């Protein structure tokens, strides 16, 4: 379809009344790093993240160390009456999980009920989590199970989207294949605009916040 490409670019240039940009002008555009207005807030990053995330029915539990993650997951599981099995992202698989707890690194299958993953960052601005796909973090873990548990270290919380982009740009393999910014459980308003959680993605997104 090179013909269509040529035609569309040609039509754009005719409409703009010019030919292709000169190399110097193109270089200026490529170097452009705009600083748009950011949303100002006074509260500290952790408080902001938690209050915004909880405002959309996300839940948060605080623990003192990474070693407490299996206990926090097990408590959640029992509280919700879930079976002792989960898709657990590889970086967390090495923790001491209860002996009867069956787990695998993913991908999540159709009947997966529970997943536990790490994340790249928390974004305080609107209370969102930044997750990136990779062998250690299959994307299906973020969308298929009914319950998604995310381990977030308090030190991973950044202020604005722009701070999260810096983390993405520093990813070793370049931009991840799938970057998911998750701001709470799945929801829909498509029937009479009545808010209903658990449309297609997780019904519950639970942050295990490590201090």
Partner 1 sequence: MKVSSPQFKEKSVIALADPRLRQALGQSRKGFVNKRAELVGALPEFEQLRDEARDLKNHVLDNLDHYLERYEAAVTAAGGHVHWARDAEEARSIILNICQRVNAKTITKGKSMVSEEIGLNDALEAKGYTVVETDLGEYIIQLAHEPPSHIIAPAIHKTKEQVSELFEAAHGGPRKTTVAELVTEARLVLRDKYFQADVGITGGNFLVAETGSSIIVTNEGNGDLTQTLARVHIVTSGIERIVPTLEDVALFLRILARSATGQETETYTTLSTGPRRPHDLDGPEEYHVVLVDNGRTKMLGGKFQDMLRCIRCGACMNHCPVYGAIGGHAYGWVYPGPMGSVLTPLFVGLDATYDLPNACTLNGRCESVCPVRIPLPELLRELRHMQHQQGIRPQGERRALGAWRFVAERPGLYQFANRLAARVLKGLGGSTGRIASLPFAGAWTDSRDMPAPEGKTFLELWQARSKP
Q: Which residues within the stretch 8-37 sit at the binding site for partner 1 (CB under 8 A)?
A: 8-9, 11-17, 20-21, 26, 29-30, 32-37
CA distance 209 to 152: 5
Between the two ends of the chain, the Cα-to-Cα distance in Å is 54
Q: Does 182 bind partner 1 (CB under 8 A)?
A: yes
| Site track for partner 1 across 82-111, x = CB under 8 A | -----------------------xxxx-x-
Site size for partner 1, by CB under 8 A?
80
Contacting partner 1 within 65-84 (CB under 8 A) = none
Q: Could you tell me the sign of the dihedral formed by the alpha carbons of 79, 85, 87, 90, in that order?
A: positive
Q: Does 55 bind partner 1 (CB under 8 A)?
A: yes
Kindly tell me which of 5 and 79 has the beta carbon lying closer to partner 1: 5
Strands 196-197 and 187-188: antiparallel
CA distance 161 to 125: 7
Distance in Å, CB of 104 to partner 1, minimum = 10
Q: Which of 50, 180, 206, 209 binds partner 1 (CB under 8 A)?
A: 180
Contacting partner 1 within 125-164 (CB under 8 A) = 126, 128, 133-135, 138-140, 142-144, 160-162
Return the closest-CA partner of residue 142 out of 183, 202, 200: 202
- The three-class DSSP label of residue 81 is coil
Kindly tell me which of 55 and 155 has the beta carbon lying closer to partner 1: 55
Q: Does 62 bind partner 1 (CB under 8 A)?
A: no
CA distance 170 to 157: 16
Q: Are 44 and 122 in contact (CB under 8 A)?
A: no
Distance in Å, CB of 187 to partner 1, minimum = 5
């Amino acid at each position: 379809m090179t013909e269509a490409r040529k035609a569309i670019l040609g039509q754009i240039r005719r409409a703009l009344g010019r030919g292709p940009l000169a190399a110097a002008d193109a270089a200026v555009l490529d170097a452009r790093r705009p600083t748009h207005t950011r949303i100002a807030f006074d509260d500290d990053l952790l408080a902001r993240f938690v209050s915004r995330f909880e405002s959309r029915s996300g839940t948060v539990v605080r623990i003192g160390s990474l070693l407490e993650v299996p206990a926090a997951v097990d408590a959640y599981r029992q509280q919700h009456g879930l079976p002792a099995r989960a898709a657990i992202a590889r970086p967390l698989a090495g923790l001491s999980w209860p002996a009867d707890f069956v787990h695998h690194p993913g991908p999540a299958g159709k009947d997966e009920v529970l997943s536990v993953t790490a994340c790249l960052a928390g974004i305080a601005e609107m209370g969102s989590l930044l997750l990136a796909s990779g062998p250690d973090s299959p994307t299906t873990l973020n969308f298929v199970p009914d319950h998604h548990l995310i381990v977030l270290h308090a030190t991973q919380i950044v202020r604005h989207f722009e701070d999260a982009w810096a983390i993405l740009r520093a990813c070793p393999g370049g931009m991840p294949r799938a970057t998911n910014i998750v701001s709470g459980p799945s929801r829909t308003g498509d029937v009479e605009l009545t808010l209903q959680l658990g449309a297609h993605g997780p019904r519950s997104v639970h942050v295990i916040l490590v201090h």
